[in-house]
Amino acid sequence: MKKTSRKLICLAFVASIFSSAAIAEYTTSMLSLDDARSLIAKGHTSADTLKVNVCMAVVDPSGSLITFDRMDRAPYGCVDAAIAKAKSAALFRVKTSVNMQRVNGDEPAIANTPHMVPLGGGVPVTNNDVVVGAVGVSGATNAMEVKIAEAMVAGYGVVPTK
């Protein structure tokens, strides 16, 4: 009876080690509302530094809106554009400025792909190289929108311990 109990305890211990490692390897974080609000706050700081008023959106990996902010005096047209840029960055898992380069290069037809936004200002949010959402910025020049969006995501995520 004692040998059986020890074997079961050892087996349970070994199983827990392997299952924990497997779970840790495949678990990714999700953007919480607090995370999204923090990203927006970083966008405000960057936009204030550049002295521009913009719209900022944060979406989950499917492109669904988590939170949105339109700064005072930001153009009305930037509302949908910011959301579209964030959605594009999430769905295609690439900065929308990359889409812009492709459209302006040898692939103009990709601009017709649904949800493809060929303008800068959309940036995926990653954690351990996994896309957990995206941000979108609109309402300023392309260069400023890119700078704000990149400032929003800078430093987000967990640095791998490997």
Has residue 131 been placed in a domain?
A: yes
Calpha distance 104→145 (Å, rounded): 18
Has residue 53 been placed in a domain?
A: yes
pLDDT of residue 23: 47
pLDDT of residue 29: 72
Calpha distance 152→29 (Å, rounded): 17
Calpha distance 56→79 (Å, rounded): 8
Has residue 162 been placed in a domain?
A: no
pLDDT of residue 9: 56
The boundaries of the domain holding residue 138 are 33-153
The distance from CA 129 to its chain's CA centroid, rounded to whole angstroms, is 11
Has residue 141 been placed in a domain?
A: yes
Q: What is the pLDDT along the chain (162 residues), one digit of tens a residue?
A: 566 556 555 555 545 544 444 444 555 578 999 999 999 999 999 999 999 999 999 999 999 999 999 999 999 999 999 999 999 999 999 999 999 999 999 998 888 899 999 999 999 999 888 999 999 999 999 999 999 999 999 988 644 433
Has residue 140 been placed in a domain?
A: yes
Q: Are strands 130-138 and 122-127 parallel, antiparallel or unpaired?
A: antiparallel
Q: Considering the entire predicted model, what is its pTM? A: 0.79
Has residue 161 been placed in a domain?
A: no
Task: Name which of 152, 142, 153, 147 is nearest 117 in CA terms.
Answer: 142
pLDDT of residue 156: 82
Has residue 122 been placed in a domain?
A: yes
CATH code for the domain of 67: 3.30.450.150
Has residue 118 been placed in a domain?
A: yes
How many domains is the chain partitioned into structurally?
A: 1
Cα-Cα end-to-end distance for the chain:
41
pLDDT of residue 22: 45
The distance from CA 92 to its chain's CA centroid, rounded to whole angstroms, is 11
